[in-house]
Each structure stands twice: as C-alpha cells, then as structure tokens.
A and B are shown apart, each in its own frame.
Chain A
Amino acid sequence: MGKDIFEILVNGVKLVLVFLMIVQAVPILVWLERRGSAFIQNRFGPNRVGPLGLLQLLADAAKFLTKEEFAPAQGIKLLYYAAPVFALIPGAIAYAAIPMSVPIMVDAFEMFGQTWGPYKFLVQGYEIGVGIVFILGVSSLAAYTILMAGWGSGNKFSLMGALRASAQTISYELALGLSIVGVILLYGTFNLTEMIQAQQGPLSFQFLGYTITSEYLPNWGIFFQPLGAILFFTATFAESNRLPFDLAEGEAELVAGFHTEYGGFKMLLFFIGEYAHMMIAAGLMTTFFFGGYSIPFVSAAEVLAWAQTVCETATGASALTALIHFLVYNVKFALFLWIFIWVRWTLPRFRYDQLMDLGWKTMLPWALANTVFTAFMVYLAGI
C-alpha cells in the first residue's frame, strides 16, 4: 500500500467519521429537544422507554424504518426520492471543515515493514484555506433540497412551503454573510484555525498606540463583535428554518410545509439535515466568537506540557491534548445547541411580513453598519 493511498484512505475515513458524528448526535438532540420542551412547558416528556426515556430514540428509529413506504401519485418520483438524500450532503460537507481540536502530531512509526510519518493529523474533515466562504457556499445549497422536495411532492401546500422556506433562506443569507465580514476584518483571515489561535490568551488589543489588556476576560471574538455575534446567531436560526423562523411549516396555513408528503425514514432524513445546520451554526458560533476549542487562560502549549508528564510517548501526549481540547469544544458546542432548543420552545413564530421586514430592513442595515464600523476601527487601531 503506497503512502499516498494511505493518506487518502485516512482522510476518507475521517470524512465518514464526521458524517457519523452528525448522524449520531441527532437522536440525542431529538431526545434533548423533547425532554427540554417538556421541562420548559412543565410536562414530563418521553420517560417510559429505558432510563430517562433515552431508549425512546431507538424505538422511534425502529418505527421510522418499519413505516409504510409510499410516494404521492401526482409527484415526480426522481425529485421526491432524491430530495431527502440531498438534504444530508451540504450539512455534512460544511461541518467537516470546522476544526474541532488541536492537530495530533503523530511521530514516525513502523507498520507493515515500512516507516510511516511523521504525520500531522487534523481533528476535522479537511482544512480549507478559505474556511468561511466554503462553509457558507456549501450550506447555501440546502435551498435546493427544499425546492426539490416541494416540487417533487406534487402538492400545492408542499410547493408553497418550499417557496416560503427557500425565499427565507436566501433573504437571511445576505445578513448572515455580512454579519461575519466584521469577524474576517478583525482577524484578517478566512482560515478558521488561525481565527481560533488569534483568540487565545486574555483580552488584549491595541488602540491608537496603547495596548489594553484585561485580566478577567478571555480574548474572544464576542467582546470585539457583539453585534456581529447577535446578527449571525439570529440569521442561522432562519437559515436552519427553526422557530421563531420556521415559516416553512406553519401548521395552520401549510400543513407541514415542504415535507407534508414525506413519512417514515425520508422525513427523518430532513430532520437530520435540519439538525446538521444547527450543528454548523453552533460550531461556527464557537469558532468565531467563543474561542473555538481553546481553553480560556490556558494555552495549548501548557496543556501539552502537562500531558507530557502523564503520557510516555510524544504521540500519546499530543493525542491527550487533542482529546482535552475536543471536549472543551464540545462543551461550548453543546451549549449553543441547547440555546437553539431553548429559543424554539420560548418564542412564538413570526408572521411572514415580519420575517421579511426583520431580514431586509433591520438585520441587513445593522450588519452593514457593523461592517463599516469594524473596518473604521481596524483602520484606526492599525495607525
């Protein structure tokens, strides 16, 4: 086996693993969503199957798989069946580009009578130089799956729901893209790993020749870009079609929106797509505004120095450091996923004109103002 093929194989396995992470997180999130909503609404939620109702997920999956398979007679079969599968692709590809931990340095080792490495093993699907642009570009393709589902179902409620949902996605993409221009200006890079490295240590910045350092706050993006963070987080709610922006499935008007005609596992695939978008949003919030995988006040080098006292080999110490940072990333990540669920069960749905007003007349001007203001401040700080 050649070394090129070995590396391609490792990268392929990594992509599959990231995809499986997304898919495996979905049942847990569904459980959290149902229990969380019950907690918020003063009910019990699913608590019968297994401890804390955790096995409810398995029961649900079995139910979805054994449901009757049907397709609408008026629909277009190709688009109808392709849409749920396509719903998984943008989320999985985009999430694979988010760095989840510091890279693992693998020393040279012997295997199959050959010397391999040394390798630098990135804890992410792949690193891409223009991380943000790539993630935004890929996740903007999700609008097609909605349109394909709506058109392929051959049902006017589905079509109306799909048109609404995709119009909303396109409208909020503008505010989403503009809200992170400030972040790009601030760090001067598109690369997500470099952004995380810029956010390590205590809060410090240079302004008009003075260096200002805080002892109590970490150097996170949220303190430089509070408006950008709020706009970005709001726009991601609309992008993933979650309440209060889930106009796509206003039950009173449109039955269930673009997935009215879907049942069983096909419906579940749309669910996974929606949760994948939530995960991208949570991962990007963590990366842009909350220091990514870095631990506040503790640098990666300090963690590595500690890990070297515990582990014997350099590879083991590097892997332990990566594991610790991975856990830190996941804590922040899970917090944002919880906020997604929390908001869903707290706020009511917008009306459609309110939704469009908010997107075009409120968020877009504020995002533009944020961009101009940040550019001005970055210029001032650089003098």
Chain B
Amino acid sequence: MTADSFLFFFLAFVTLVSGLAVVLLANPIYSALCLAMTMVGVAGLFVTLNAFFIAGVQLIVYAGAVMVLFVMVLMLFDLRHELAAFTRGKFTGTVKIATVGLLAGLIVGAIMMSSGMLSDRSAQASDVLKTGADTTKDLGTLLFTKYVFGFEALGVLLLVIAIGAVSLARSKGGTHAKH
C-alpha cells in the first residue's frame, strides 16, 4: 500500500465515521462536533487531490467559523426537550429511513458516475502536476472570467441574507424587546 492510498483510506475512514456519528448520536452537541470533524476530514481529502486552497478555505470558513457558531448556539439551549422531540414518533422514523435510503442512493450513484473520472484524472496527473499556487490562480481566473455572473449573484444573495437576518433580528426590538 502506498503512502497516498494509505492517506486516502485513513481520511475516508475518519470522514465516514464522523459523518455517521453526526446522524447516529443523540446529543446535538456531539453531532455538531462530529460534523466539524467531518469537515476537517473533507479538507484533508481536498489536500490529497492537490486542491490546497479549497482545503484551507474549507477549514477557515466551514470548520473554523460556521460550525463554531452552530456549537455556540447549541450550547445556549436547554437540549433535553429537543432531544425527546427528535428521537420519538413514527413520522420522524419514516423520515429518517427515507433520508438514509436517499443518501445511499446518492452515494451509489456518485460512485457509478465518477468511477471513470478517477482513472482519467490519474492519467492526466502524470503529465502536469500543478502546485497549490497554480490551482489557486486558475480558480481565481475562472471565478472572475467564466463564472463572474454566478459568482456576483452569489455575493448578492449572501448580502440579501445578511440584511434579512439583521432586519428580522431588529424587528420588535430585537434583543431589547419588552415582553
């Protein structure tokens, strides 16, 4: 077994186990922490694919900022009530099973569709092995030329979300509301 394949299987194992733990653990805090772990594993997988910039951004944005906020908010709630609500009932059970089926279908489909791509990639990788800086430059060029409208539209969407969140929070007095 080469070092590359060892790294891949190790990271894949970590990602899958922590991803399963997100779904299977009853305590939302542990789920959130495991989701962070999943994101770190995915960042590691990006590194093995030579996508260093995406890996770094994955760590900074998702694992470092978004999930920390999730964990912070979860810690502020009394979770016993929500625990009971989420672990009982026929309806939630059906939804769970349906979700698992959907996910399994997605995974099988992804493997079927991408099995050819992997061998293509290894054939290409031998002639041009790009460094992290090159792929970052390529990414930037693509984002600001070919995909510039989609990129800007996403920026506007995020701005709308931010303004909407602020206006929702401030209506009825926000944190200083009188009950």
Evaluate contact between A130 and B136: CB separation under 8 angstroms.
yes
A162 proximity list for chain B (CB < 8 A): 75
Are A129's CB and B133's CB within 8 A? yes
Closest to B71 in A: A147
Residue B11 lies at the interface, judged by CB distance under 8 Å to chain A: no
Note all chain A residues with C-beta closer than 8 A to B83. none
Q: Is the CB of A163 within 8 A of B59?
A: no
**B112 CB, nearest partner CB in chain A, Å:** 33
A257 CB, nearest partner CB in chain B, Å: 15
Residue in contact with A170 in the complex, picked from B43, B55, B69, B133, CB distance below 8 Å: B69
A137 touches B52 (CB 8 A): no
Chain B 136-149 interface mask (CB, 8 Å, partner A; 1/0): 10000000000000
Q: Is the CB of B64 within 8 A of A134?
A: no
How far does the Cβ of A165 sit from chain B's closest Cβ, in whole Å?
10
Contacts of B36 in A (CB 8 A): 141, 144
Segment 293-349 of A: residues with Cβ below 8 Å from B: none
Q: Shortest beta-carbon distance, B57 to chain A, in Å? A: 7
B166 at the interface (CB under 8 A from A): no
Q: Is the CB of B56 within 8 A of A130?
A: yes
- In the complex, the answer to whether B132 meets A128 with C-beta atoms within 8 Å is yes
Residues of A155-179 at the interface with B, using a CB-CB cut-off of 8 Å, are: 159, 162-163, 166-167, 169-170, 173, 177
**Cα distance A371–B76 when bound, in Å?**
36
**A189 located at the interface, meaning its Cβ lies under 8 Å from any Cβ of chain B in the complex:** yes
Q: Shortest Cβ distance from A115 into chain B, in angstroms?
A: 22
**B3 — which chain A residues lie within 8 A by C-beta?**
4, 8
- Interface membership of B60, Cβ < 8 A: yes
CB-contacts of B102-152 with A (<8 A): 131-133, 136
Provide the A20-56 mask, 1 if CB < 8 A to any CB of B, else 0.
Answer: 0000000000000000000000000000000000000
| Contact-residue bracket for chain A | 20 to 34
Interface flag for A151 (CB, 8 Å): yes
Return the CB mask of B13-34 against A: 1 if under 8 Å, else 0: 0000000000000000100010
Q: Give the total number of A-B pairs whose CB atoms are below 8 A apart.
A: 84
Q: Count of chain B residues with Cβ under 8 Å from any Cβ of A?
A: 27
B169 CB contacts on chain A under 8 angstroms: none
The CA-CA distance from A144 to B70 in the complex, in Å, is: 11
Please pick, from B40, B60, B68, the residue contacting A133 in the complex, using a CB distance under 8 A: B60
The digit string for B72-95, where 1 denotes a CB below 8 A from any CB of A, is: 100110000000000000000000
Q: For residue A169, which residues in chain B have a CB less than 8 angstroms away from its CB?
A: 68
List, in ascending order, chain A residues with CB within 8 A of B56's CB: 130, 133-134, 136-137
Return chain B residues, CB-CB under 8 Å to A99: none
Q: In the complex where A130-B53, A140-B59, A144-B68 touch, is A150 in contact with B132 (Cβ < 8 A)?
A: no
Interface contact A147-B72, CB-CB below 8 Å:
yes
Whether B63 is near chain A, meaning CB under 8 Å from some CB there, is yes
Nearest CB on A from B64, distance (A):
3
Residues of B close to A133: CB separation below 8 A:
52-53, 56-57, 60
Q: In chain A, what residue has the closest Cβ to B57?
A: A133
Cross-chain pairs A/B with CB under 8 angstroms, 8 sampled: A128-B52, A129-B133, A133-B56, A133-B60, A137-B58, A143-B68, A159-B75, A173-B65
5 interchain residue pairs of minimum CB distance: A129-B132, A140-B64, A137-B59, A133-B56, A130-B52
